[in-house]
Amino acid sequence: MGLELGATGITSPRSLLALGKPGLQRFDELTAATNKEIVWSDGRHRGYIHVNISHAGIQADFIAVSTVESRQYSAQIIRSFDIAKSDNTLHFATKY
């Protein structure tokens, strides 16, 4: 049983930035729409995933940082998912 979480990393190459924010947003929408394995996509931000695992379940927060070029930065949660187990598999229970 497993579930894959992925994020654009802090130091990920950003060749797609040439598309601009509207182009990147559309790219994310099309990626999720055309691949049933992808629940959500956001390549517009750099960041990391904070995962909290407990007996009650799993929560994954996708966190974006404002800049990677300075030690002075802010971080914000751009999407969160609750992950639950049922029928011997993991699935996204809620997203907000």
Choose between 91 and 66: higher pLDDT. Answer: 66
Is the whole model's pTM more than 0.95, yes or no?
no
Whether 3 is in a domain gets the answer no
Whether 87 is in a domain gets the answer yes
Provide mean pLDDT across the span 14-21: 78
Contacts with 52 (C-beta within 8 Å, 6 or more apart), sequence order: 58, 59, 60, 61
Which residue range is the domain that position 50 belongs to? 15-95
Check whether 94 has a pLDDT greater than 80: no
Check whether 12 has a pLDDT greater than 80: no
Give the pLDDT score at 1.
65
The percentage of residues in the chain with a pLDDT greater than 90, rounded to a whole number, is 35
Question: Domain count of the chain?
Answer: 1
Check whether 18 has a pLDDT greater than 90: no
Whether 31 is in a domain gets the answer yes
Per residue in 21-41, pLDDT (tens digit) is 888 889 889 988 999 888 888
